[in-house]
Amino acid sequence: MKRLLNRFFLPLLGLLFAGTLSVAAASDVKAPDALVKDVTNEVLEIVRADKAIQAGDTKRVIELVDAKVLPHFDFRRMTMLAVGRDWRQASPEQQGKLTDAFRTLLVRTYSNALTQYRDQRIVFPLSRFAAADTRVQIRSEVIQTGAQPVGIDYMLEKSEQGWKVFDVIVAGVSLVTNYRSSFGQEISRGGIDGLIKSLEDRNRSLAEQHGLQQGEGGRGA
């Protein structure tokens, strides 16, 4: 699963760059399928033109993600879903630390996907939803030569700030559900504080691998 996510997280990061599109009033918010398609296509153009990203500059990617991306994902909701029923046991302070650590982990783990873009195409099968829906599933597929298409579906919910992603389903496997198993094991061994420590340790390790300062990657609300 980790290899699959690393390989096909690119369109997700494309959606993350939704910060490049302004959301003014509710009446101006794009339909979620149009948002996913337009932003993904726009970001692929950015990647093709950015030599630093193509050369593997992870710090450059993280800077872009920090500046443009984080406000458009509901990381608190994603963390709550990944932690599951144990979320209720966490104090508000612990919940904040969990959210910060999980956000940093996702950003650092998958920013590298943008540096691996070559000639993949993203197509968007029809996604069915009603205009009044506030929670939708938007479908996409990654197409590349010599490989089977891989489905990546985005779960979005409409808020006062517009559409926000709270889960991603890669080849039928939910991102938050995938993490829930390992998070549950960490909590069983060391409680909520044990999970926080485990996430922070993994983030330090990733920071060292990519030559990042401890505070780089994963800032934001």
CATH (domain of 174): 3.10.450.710
Number of domains forming the structure of the chain: 1
pLDDT tens digits for range 47-94? 788 888 788 888 877 876 676 666 678 999 999 999 999 999 999 999
Locate 127 and state its tokens: 């996604």
C-alpha to C-alpha distance for 4 and 10, rounded to whole angstroms: 11
**Interatomic CA distance for residues 180 and 195, integer angstroms:** 11
Residue 170 falls inside a structural domain: yes
Distances (CA, A) of 128 to 33, 155, 179: 9, 13, 28
In a domain, 214, yes or no: no
In a domain, 220, yes or no: no
Q: Is residue 221 part of a domain?
A: no
Q: Which residue has the higher pLDDT, 47 or 6?
A: 47
215 in a structural domain: no
- Do the domain assignments include residue 133? yes
Residue 22 backbone dihedrals phi, psi, to 5 degrees: -85, 145
Whole-structure pTM value: 0.80
pLDDT: is 115 or 178 the higher one?
178
pLDDT in tens, 156-207: 999 888 889 899 898 999 999 999 999 999 999 999 999 999 999 999 998 8
In-domain check, residue 143: yes
Joined together, the tokens standing for residue 53 give 């990203």
